[in-house]
Homo-oligomer: A and B are copies of this chain.
Amino acid sequence: MKVQVSKKALAERFAHVERIVPARSSNPGLNLVRIDLGDDQLRFVGSNLDLDVRTALPADVSGEGAVAVPAHVFGQVVRALPGEDVALEVEDRELAITSGSFGTRLQLADLDSAPNPAFADAHAAELPGSALAAALGQVRYAAAVAEYQAIFRGVKLELSDEGTRAVATDGFRLAYFDLDAVSGLDAEIVVPARSVDEIVRLLEDEPVKLQVGEGSLSLASGAFEVNAKLMEGSFPDYRRVIPANFPVVVTLPAQALAESVTRVAVMADKTANNRVDLFIRDGTMQITAEGSYGRSQEAMEVSQEGSDAEIALAYNARYLTDALGPLTGDLRLSLSGPTSPSLLTEPSDPHYLAMVVPLRTG
Contact = CB atoms under 8 A, between A and B. Distances in A.
Nearest to A293: B73
Contacts of A255: none
10 smallest CB-CB distances across A and B, nearest first, come from: A80-B263, A104-B296, A106-B294, A102-B298, A76-B266, A107-B294, A101-B299, A73-B293, A105-B294, A77-B266
Contacts of A295: 104-105
Contacts of A94: 294
Interface in A79-105: 80-82, 94, 101-105
A70 B291 CA distance: 13
Interface residues of A, number: 31
B264 A296 contact: no
A62 interface: no
Interface in A131-185: none
Nearest to A96: B294
A267 interface: yes
26 contacts: A73-B267, A76-B266, A77-B263, A77-B266, A77-B296, A80-B259, A80-B262, A80-B266, A81-B263, A82-B259, A82-B260, A82-B298, A94-B294, A101-B299, A102-B263, A103-B296, A103-B298, A104-B266, A104-B294, A104-B295, A105-B294, A106-B267, A106-B293, A106-B294, A107-B293, A107-B294
